Amino acid sequence: MAKIHFIGAGQMAEAIIRAAIGSGAFTGDEIAITDIDPQRVTRLIGQYHVQETAAPTDAELIVIAVRPQDDINAVTENIRRQASPQAIVISIVAGVTLQRLAALLGPERPIVRVIPNTLTDTGYGYSGVTLNGHVAASQVEPFLQSFGKILYLPESLIDVFTGFGVAGPNYIYYFVESLTDAGVLAGLPRAQATEVVLENLVGAAAMLKQSGLHPRQLLDINNSPAGVGMHGLYELNNSDFAAGLQRSVLASVKRTIQLGTAK
């Protein structure tokens, strides 16, 4: 019998399934999927040996993994009709609040909102989690921890987390690409420039965690008066880099809120 039933088998659902099975926390026969795309279902069954089940009748956990613009009302109505009253619903749908989910699923339904990070395969990155009053963290942690780290948040901060934490890898990828291009522009071969950037990225993150110092303190240590690094930072400050990054985060948070109120 499948313990976990996914409604929706898109990229994020697949990433969670892949990590949950790859970590050894669950097996394919403990996971069932439903999706409107039969080819998608066939591919995931073939690759991960999960089950296809039309209804989440016996599932302990039901994961809503559809898009915010999809018909949430129809999805929740099916859950309400087909699932056990004790089944915990885990929504990974951006912008859809616990209040709205409770209105659709029933006021006594155990509900969890999870905003998963796309770094599921690495073991890094936090998923933002908020629970309603009918579910305990211990009931869902074995599943949630199977695809990464957990950051419990009040629901008022979930949209902020989505635009900042979950969109965060985008900013890192873009920074790596841009800094690598800068190395190529200056004369390094791309393969070498890429290795240097990645090593600096990993090393700088390790230095911040190990030292416990503020980034500004490490910048001060790393830069001598009138030195090479300070000249580079001066031009970076003139580029509006920090404010541009902050505007990007605010735009992502705003879009998260829009998605949740679109219907």
Which CATH number fits the domain that encloses residue 196? 1.10.3730.10
Q: Are residues 68 and 147 in the same domain?
A: yes
**What is the tally of structural domains in the chain?**
2
For residue 108, is it left (φ>0), alpha (ψ between -120 and 50) or beta? alpha
Single out the residue in 108, 134, 153 at which a domain terminates. Answer: 153
Residue 123 is assigned to a ligand binding site: no
Both 146 and 175 in a single domain? no
Does 127 share its domain with 197?
A: no
Residues 8 and 136 in one domain: yes
Q: Which distant-in-sequence residues (6+ apart) come within 8 Å of 33 by Cβ?
A: 5, 6, 9, 13, 17, 41, 44, 45, 50, 51, 52, 53
Query: What pLDDT band is residue 134 in, cutting at 50, 70 and 90?
Result: very high
Are 145 and 33 in a shared domain? yes
Residue 5: strand, helix, or coil: strand
* 65 labeled part of a ligand binding site: yes
Side-chain half-sphere exposure of 39, counting CA atoms within 13 A: 0
**Predicted pLDDT of residue 16:** 95
Mean pLDDT of 149-176: 92
Q: Is 59 annotated as a binding residue?
A: no
Instruction: Supply the DSSP symbol for 221.
Output: H
pLDDT for res 146? 93
Residue 9 is labelled as binding a ligand: yes
The pLDDT tens digits for 40-61 are 999 999 999 999 887 888 899 9
pTM for the full predicted model: 0.84
Residue 160 assigned to a binding site: no
**Domain limits at 190?**
163-261
262 falls in which pLDDT band (50, 70, 90)?
Answer: low
12 marked as part of a ligand binding site:
yes
Question: What percentage of residues in the chain have a pLDDT greater than 70?
Answer: 98
Name the band, by pLDDT with cuts 50, 70 and 90, for residue 84: very high
Higher pLDDT, 117 or 89: 89
Domain boundary among 153, 178, 204: 153
pLDDT of residue 118: 86
Q: Is 11 annotated as a binding residue?
A: yes
- Region 97-120 average pLDDT: 93
11 shares a domain with 60? yes
119 lies in the same domain as 185:
no
What is the rounded average pLDDT of the residues 206-233?
Answer: 93
Check whether 2 has a pLDDT greater than 70: no
Separation of alpha carbons 8 and 27, rounded Å: 19
Sign of CA dihedral 99, 101, 106, 110: negative
Residue 158 lies in a domain: no
pLDDT of residue 126: 92
Residues 147 and 176 placed together within one structural domain of the fold: no
132 and 24 in a common domain:
yes
Look up the CATH number of the domain holding residue 30: 3.40.50.720
122 and 15 in one domain? Answer: yes
Q: How confident is the model at residue 166 (pLDDT cuts 50, 70, 90)?
A: confident
Last residue of a domain, one of 153, 184, 207: 153
Q: Are residues 89 and 172 in the same domain?
A: no
Are residues 181 and 64 both part of a single domain? no
251 is an annotated ligand-binding site residue: no
